[in-house]
Structures are given as C-alpha cells and as structure tokens.
Structure 1
Amino acid sequence: MEMLHLRYFVAVAEELNFSQAARKLHMAASPLSQRIKDLEHELGQKLFERSTHKVALTPAGQALLPLAKDILEQVNAIPWRLREAAKPARSTVFIGMPAGVHPALRDKVKLLEDRCREHFDLKRWPGTTADLVEGVHEGRLALTLARLPANDPALAQIEVMSERLGAAVPADRFEGRTTVKLADLTDLPYMAAPSEATPAYFEQLDTALSAAGVKKRLKLPSTGYSGMAELISSGMGFSISMLDPSSPMHGYKLDNVTILPIEDFAPELRTGLLWRTDRTDLNELIEQAKTVFQEPIMV
C-alpha cells in the first residue's frame, strides 16, 4: 500500500466529493477515482458508496479513516521529529506571516525574535492563511500569524489583533463624507479579492453584505489588491479594507480611493497566533510567544 493512496483516501473522505478532493490534491478527478479503486482492490473492502449525487463512507471506510489520519500524522511528523533529535544548539525556525500584517504585530514578532535569540533563529515565512496553517500542522513552520477563523483541532490559538474594517469607495462619489451607510453602497458592485488571497472571514463578510441588501458583485479572478484599487478609483465598485491608516493595505490606495467607516455595519478582521501543542521541541519559543502576544491589539 502506497502512502499516496492513504492521502487520496483521506482527501475524498473529508470532502465526500471526488471533484473537490481532486482540486485539493491538484489532480484530475478520473485518476483520483482510479487510485481509490486500486486501494479498495488491495484492501478487499469497498470504502465509498458512490451514486450520481452522493458519496458516502462505507463501514470499512469509516473504520479506515482514523487509522489513515493517524498514519499520515506520524509520517508528516517525521521531518520535525528528526530535527528535534538532531537539532543544533540554536535552531532555525519559521513563523508564518499572512499578507498585510499590521506594523504593531510586526513589532511584536521582532520582540519575539529578540527574546528567543539565544536558542532560536526565528525567520518569517509569507503565505495565505490556509497555507500557513497547513505549514504549522505539518511541522514546517513553528507557529504562524493567521486571519481568523482558522479551524484546525490540532493547533492551539490565541487572538492577537482586531482591526476595524471600512468601505473602500471612489473618493469623488463620497466627497465631504466621513462615513457611509450600507444603503449608500447598494448600487455599487462589491469586489472581493480572488479567493486564494482572501481570508475565510471575507466569505462571511460577503454573506453579511448580501443579507443587508448589498447584492451586486464584481468578480475579479485574475487581479489582486492593486487591480481592485484601479477599479474603485474608476468608480466601478467598492471593497472592504482596514480603516487604520498605518495598515500596509493602505499602500494600495490610489488618488480617487478613500476608506470610510460604515455607520450601520461594523466588520473587523481578527488575527490569531497558532501553534502545535505537541511540539515539545518548541516549548520555550511558544511560552515566549504567549507572553509577547498576550495583550490583543485593537485598532
């Protein structure tokens, strides 16, 4: 039995959808389905009940799932367990950094670097929240800052920052205004960044805006924050961004873009610090991190 077969099985078991599992694994659905059939043939057990509209685990599949997850967890832990066994006196470890981290949080990361310098050389690693959380889970990162919610039962987390959000709108259209109301935005399409760059919270935000009457959407499959600023500056829509002028996200603002508080809506983006509770090799680093980040920042 190949380890990949177990990875394929767990992906399908978690998604209960071959197409979604295939996208998660960056492969086509047809070869994924064949690999599952190969595993079933090797085990002599049917693992999934398949129909046109539904995929479900059989009793054998339900029994295999915790076993497969446990095996994969142990395999994924091999690199950092080996590093723990053969680590030098001062280890190089990584902290994940999502896009747009506030300067106040960067100052705390720098403080953590200084406090743990005797035993750890702490380096910063960029990425999306999903990738960074996965990196901590698999042991490639020691800990990470991540946009909340970030749900992984294997990881502990504390909230370290809450940033108020406002509406990024065409400045000429709202000239002289210091705030907006949701009713002012209903005829402008809402633009969210491409899903791979957007924290999960913005999916909840999209739903909340729709429920409040902001129905129009402008999909942006191939542009980032700078492209969104161009469209907002041209009066083609609005987006949601950090209100605090010191946020790095204000670097994307153009001349005809302003960010205003929303009177009848108060969204906020929360950031957490996440780490594995079983990384005994990092106990000293984690304790220092919990001390450095113990007081949440609110801006």
Structure 2
Amino acid sequence: MEMLHLRYFVAVAEELNFTAAARRLHMATSPLSQRIRDLEHELGQRLFDRDTHHVRLTAAGETLLPIARDVLDQVNSIPWRLREATGPRHGTMLLGMPAGIHPDLRARVNTLAERISDRVDLKRWPGVTSALIDAVRDGKLALTLARLPVGDPALDQLPVMSERLGAVVSATRFAGREAVTLAELSDFTYVSAPPEVLPPYFDVLERELADRGVRKRMKLTGTDYSGVSEVISSSAAFGFSMLDEDSPMRGYRVADVTVLPVTDFPAHMETGLVWRRDRADGGDLDDIVAIAREVFGEPILR
C-alpha cells in the first residue's frame, strides 16, 4: 500500500464525490477511481458503495477513515517537526495568499508580520485556495488565507473577512440601474471561471442559484476571471464578484461590465486564516497562532 492510496481514499471519503475529490487532488476522475479499486483489492474490502447518484462509505470505509487520517497527519507533520528540532531560532515562515485579497486584510497581514518579526520573517506565497490548503496540510506552508468553506478536520481556521458579492452584468443592458433581482437574471446564462481557480464557495453558490431557478450554465476553461467579464460584456450572461470598490477583483473587469447588488439574493465570500491543528496545539505555531488571533480579531465586513 502506498501513501498516495490513503490520500486518494481520504479525499473521496471527505467529498463523497469522485469528481470533487479528483479536482481537489488535481487529477482526472478515471485514474482516481482505479486507485481506489486498487486499494480495495489490496485490502480485500469494499470501501465505498457507489451508484449513479451517490457515493457512501461502507462499514470498512468508516473504520479506515480515522486510521488513514492519523497516518497522513503523522507523515505530514514530519517536515515541520524536523524544522522545529533542527532549524535556526529565527527562520522564515510562509503564509499562503489567494488572488484578490482585500487591502484591509493585507493591512492585517502586515501587522501580523510586524508582531512576529522577532521570531520569524513572514513571507507570502501565492496560489489558488485548493493548492494553498494542500500545502498547509502537507506542511509546506505554515498558514494560509483561504476562501471558505474548508472542511478538512486536520485543519483549524479563523474567519477573518466577509465580502458581499454582487451580480456582474452588462453595463449597457442594465444602464442606470443601482440594483438587480435574481428573478431578472433567471433567463440569463450564469458563467463562471474554470473550476481550478474558483473558491469552494462557488460550488455552494451554483447549487443555490439552481434552487432559485437559474438553470443555464457556462463554465469557461483556459482563462481566469477576466474571461468571465469578456463573455458577460458581449452576451446575455452574468456572474458574481465582490461589490466593494476597493476589491482587487475589480481589476479583472472589462469595459461594458458592472457589478450590482442583488436585492433578493444575499451572497457573501468568506475568507479565513487556516493552519494545521497539531502545529498550534503545543506545536511550533502555538505562539504564532495566538498572536494571529489577536491581530485579526473580529472579521472585517465589507
């Protein structure tokens, strides 16, 4: 049995969806399914009940899940435990930074860097939320800012910001408008960026839109948020983005696109500070996390 098999198993067990687990693992669904079948064959136990619509853990799968998590946690803790035991007293600590972090939140990151400067130099590491979470789980990053939700039980999180979302629409079609309703957009196509750059919340958002009658979908590939704006500016489509004028996400917008409040559909993007629980509870990040809790305090609301 290889360690990767346990990683694959835990991802599927937590997502209970092979497509979502494959996206989280940055791999295709077909080889992931094969690796799970290989693991089941080696253990002589069926770990999942699968049908067209559902994936469920079997009794054997339920038993294996906490064992696999414990093994992976022990392996993932090796790098930071070695650094703690052998590294210099004053080193470098990496903090993950997803795209579009609000200036108010960056200011608090700067404050954290100043408060811990006598212990470590805080360096920022860019990436999408899924990759940054993986890096924290694997011990490559000490902390990360991440778009919530984050459901990994090995990780702890502190909510640090809530940003209101608005509908990205054609400025020509909605000229003179200060707001829009979701009912007005129900015949429009909802367009989103590629799954690999979207925060986890957008999966929740899509389900909520479907429940409210928005059925048409367009998922772009090979682009970023600016590609969403291009499509919206020239067709009957809409998306979602931060409403705040100070949000860096406004830099992705093109001509003839505006963002309006949706009066009958409140949507908020939550950002949290995330770290490995075992590194804070008596581990090498104990003091750092305590200071971070003081610095970030109450979440910023925008």
Q: TM-score scaled by structure 2?
A: 0.86
Q: Which residue does 2:45 correspond to in 1?
A: 47
Task: State how far apart, in whole Å, the 1-side matches of 2:201 and 2:173 are.
Answer: 28
CA contact (8 A) 1:129 1:146 kept: yes
Change (3 A) 1:233 1:202: same
Q: Which residue does 2:298 correspond to in 1?
A: 295
Q: Which residue does 1:133 correspond to in 2?
A: 133
Task: State how far apart, in whole Å, the 2-side matches of 1:8 and 1:252 are.
Answer: 34
Q: Which residue does 1:173 correspond to in 2?
A: 173
How many residues were matched structurally? Answer: 294
Change (3 A) 1:58 1:154: closer
Work out whether 1:194 is the aligned partner of 2:194. Answer: yes
Q: TM-score scaled by structure 1?
A: 0.87
Q: Which residue does 2:80 correspond to in 1?
A: 80
In the TM superposition, residue 147 of structure 1 has moved relative to its aligned partner by 1.0
Task: State how far apart, in whole Å, the 2-side matches of 1:30 and 1:158 are.
Answer: 34
- Aligned pairs for 1:1-299 within 5 A: 2-11=2-11, 24=25, 26=27, 28-29=31-32, 32=35, 35-36=38-39, 39-40=42-43, 46-48=44-46, 53=51, 62-279=62-279, 280-299=283-302
Q: How many percent of aligned residue pairs carry the same amino acid?
A: 53
Letter in 2 for 1:202: F
Change (3 A) 1:113 1:3: same
Question: Which structure would you say has the larger Rg?
Answer: 1
Q: Which consecutive residues of structure 1, in runs of 5 or more, have no partner in the other structure? A: 41-45
In the TM superposition, residue 30 of structure 1 has moved relative to its aligned partner by 7.3
In the TM superposition, residue 251 of structure 1 has moved relative to its aligned partner by 0.4
CA contact (8 A) 1:112 1:289 kept: yes
Q: Which consecutive residues of structure 2, in runs of 5 or more, have no partner in the other structure? A: none
Q: Show CA shifts across 1:248-274 (max 9, x none).
A: 110011120111111212111111111
Task: State how far apart, in whole Å, the 2-side matches of 1:51 and 1:127 are.
Answer: 34
Change (3 A) 1:260 1:59: closer
After superposition, the CA RMSD in angstroms is 2.7
Letter in 2 for 1:73: D
Task: State how far apart, in whole Å, the 1-side matches of 2:292 and 2:117 are.
Answer: 12
SS of equivalent residue, structure 1 residue 160: strand
Q: Show CA shifts across 1:145-175 (max 9, x none).
A: 1111111222222211111111111001111
Change (3 A) 1:39 1:172: same
In the TM superposition, residue 221 of structure 1 has moved relative to its aligned partner by 2.6
Change (3 A) 1:207 1:50: closer
In the TM superposition, residue 291 of structure 1 has moved relative to its aligned partner by 0.9
CA contact (8 A) 2:8 2:32 kept: no
SS of equivalent residue, structure 1 residue 255: coil
In the TM superposition, residue 215 of structure 1 has moved relative to its aligned partner by 2.2
In the TM superposition, residue 4 of structure 1 has moved relative to its aligned partner by 4.1
SS of equivalent residue, structure 1 residue 191: strand
CA contact (8 A) 2:40 2:47 kept: no
Task: State how far apart, in whole Å, the 2-side matches of 1:18 and 1:271 are.
Answer: 26
CA contact (8 A) 1:19 1:29 kept: no
Change (3 A) 1:8 1:200: closer
CA contact (8 A) 1:229 1:253 kept: yes
CA contact (8 A) 2:193 2:227 kept: no
CA contact (8 A) 2:48 2:61 kept: no
SS of equivalent residue, structure 2 residue 269: strand
CA contact (8 A) 2:92 2:121 kept: yes
In the TM superposition, residue 26 of structure 1 has moved relative to its aligned partner by 3.1
SS of equivalent residue, structure 2 residue 190: coil
